[in-house]
Amino acid sequence: MQAFEKYVERHELFSHEDKILLTVSGGVDSMVMLSIFVRLGYKVEVAHCNFGLRGKESDEDTEMVLRECEKLGIVCHSKNFDTLGEMARTGDSMEMTARRLRYEWFYELCQTEGCTVIAVAHHANDSIETFFINLLRGTGLRGLTGINRQYGRVVRPLLYATRKDILEYAVQNHIPYREDSSNRSTKYLRNKIRLGLLPLLQEINPKFTALMRGNLYRLNDAQRFIDAAIDNIREVALHSENGIDTIEVGAIDAMYPRDFVIYELLNSSYGFKGDVVEELNKALKRGVTDRRFYSRDYVAYLDRGNILVAPIEDEDDCEVIIERGDMRSYCGNSVLYYEHTDIDNVNEYRLPSDIALIDESKLQYPLRLRRWREGDTFIPFGMAGRKKVGDYLTDQKVPIVERKRQFVLVSGEDIVWVVGRRTDDRFRIGANSENILKITKYPI
């Protein structure tokens, strides 16, 4: 309790004057958070999300949270979400969909209920796990700082505590909670790190958790220092006119590492990924002017040594060039990974729609990745005749909003893959195929 109060006061997360919306799932972390806030006399209401992903388990979580809030005399807002339906509508991953749904609702509750703060129950171990997730996926320094203790009105007042601290508090104070069965599944990267990697590191160094907390604190300080420097550079080198931001590369002081500064400018403000910025920097050094680079919401152009950034418009083709040997490329809210293999390493021909196996000998490089256009046709895998992409999407009952985002992979003038849906029969692999291009689509 004292550690909680000191942490909140030191970082000025909130005060007793605030009305705080507690996000309570029913797990031990959020149930302990609820107990602490109530015992310390804060003004709180509870928000509980039922995403309907675990059937009876999800409903039992809801029942327990409602029961405990009634016992404590706390207002509890509970909402059921059609998560799978929303995923089908938008094409987003389960994690992204659930996150968007809950935070949209939390902010709505803040408006209607007059809450000034949203409290989330992440703790120190969650932050350490995030460090390793980002490290393994590839990231800049920002991704190695763990979880932010505050972002806008969202605060995480338990980041000072470890999972062990929270479990001990729950046992000592007889706090009811439920265990999410999916937390035991090692098919998720976070769980692999939590259940496999971190216990091994703890065995090697029993002080590992405390050591990592200190590392994350110093990395956060380093990032804050970088942010201040980037803000100063932005004032000098970035100008906006008619909805287009221009980064004047020549205005970046030579004392700074230029590639790193460009990464920070493009990543922090526009969401460009590290490998995209790396390719942009290479093209900038070669004086290339005919390529476009994409984040989820923005497109960057190179123009006479400067970088122009603009929002992606609906009519923008978002065309990306893929050279032979490229490892990945981005399209909308997804990333495509390219693996080159041979027929002996292909374990199965029947694969989910987000994986394509292509006979690479039939491809004409460079490939192009773009949004589909009216009049585009292809020969769907297993069929003999051509079909308009628009008609195919209609037959598949793809929602209009999602249809606008549909990408196609093109070789020469031929569509190779309606991305994430169906390949073209002309590029199928067979027993005589020697070089196979395996393309996997992942949500960002």
Integer Cα distance of 202 and 194 in angstroms: 11
Name the pTM for this structure: 0.67
356 phi and psi, to 5 degrees?
A: -120, 135
Domains, the chain, ranges and CATH? Answer: 2-216 (3.40.50.620), 242-311 (no CATH), 325-443 (3.50.40.10)
240 phi and psi, to 5 degrees?
A: -120, 140
pLDDT in tens, the chain (444 residues): 789 999 999 999 999 999 999 999 999 999 999 999 999 999 999 999 999 888 889 999 999 999 999 999 999 999 999 988 888 777 677 888 899 999 999 999 999 999 999 999 999 999 999 999 989 877 778 889 999 999 899 999 999 999 999 999 999 999 999 987 777 767 678 889 999 999 999 999 999 999 999 999 999 999 999 999 999 999 999 999 878 899 999 999 989 999 999 999 999 889 888 888 998 999 999 988 767 788 878 888 888 889 999 887 654 557 888 888 888 887 766 788 998 877 665 555 556 778 899 999 999 999 999 889 888 999 999 888 899 999 999 888 876 657 777 899 999 999 999 999 999 999 988 878 888 899 998 776
Six-digit token string for 41: 């006399």
